Amino acid sequence: MVLAISFLEAPLKFRAPGVTLALGLGIGRMVFRALNTVEAVLGVLLLIAAAVIRASTATWVWLVITAVVLAMQLAFVRPPLSRRSDRVLAGEDGPRSHAHFWYIGLELVKVVTLIGLAFAVVP
């Protein structure tokens, strides 16, 4: 989901014919809200499952790092992005937000941690 939405859907939607900035931002907000909700739910389920099966230390390390990255995105990066998109949708013109770069960087870290988690849980 992270790869498909963050690295395919998000940049491509603004290149589609007829998609205005406002429309793209509106779609993006809905899609990323849904993605982050699903990620949070799956993250909680994975934490519970890891506790139930008494996961290895490596699994816990990768899982906790992934959860921390998601928490950072939700707590520190999404709010400025939401405020910026609110201003753009209200018709304001201003400088681009550097929060996008933070979000993308954290998405890259999250992909690496998810791959690490996948290898950690394979016996």
pLDDT in tens, 77-123: 999 999 999 998 898 887 888 999 999 999 999 999 999 999 999 87
How far apart CA 36 and CA 2 sit, in angstroms, is 9
* DSSP annotation of 96: P
Question: What is the number of structural domains in the chain?
Answer: 1
| pLDDT tens-digit series, residues 13-31 | 989 999 998 899 999 999 9
Predicted structure pTM score = 0.90
More confident residue, 44 or 11: 44
CA distance 66 to 117: 8
Cα distance between residue 120 and residue 123, in whole Å: 8
Domain limits at 47?
A: 2-121
- 76-81, Cβ contacts within 8 angstroms, sequence gap of 24 or more: 76/102, 77/102, 77/103, 77/106, 78/32, 78/36, 78/103
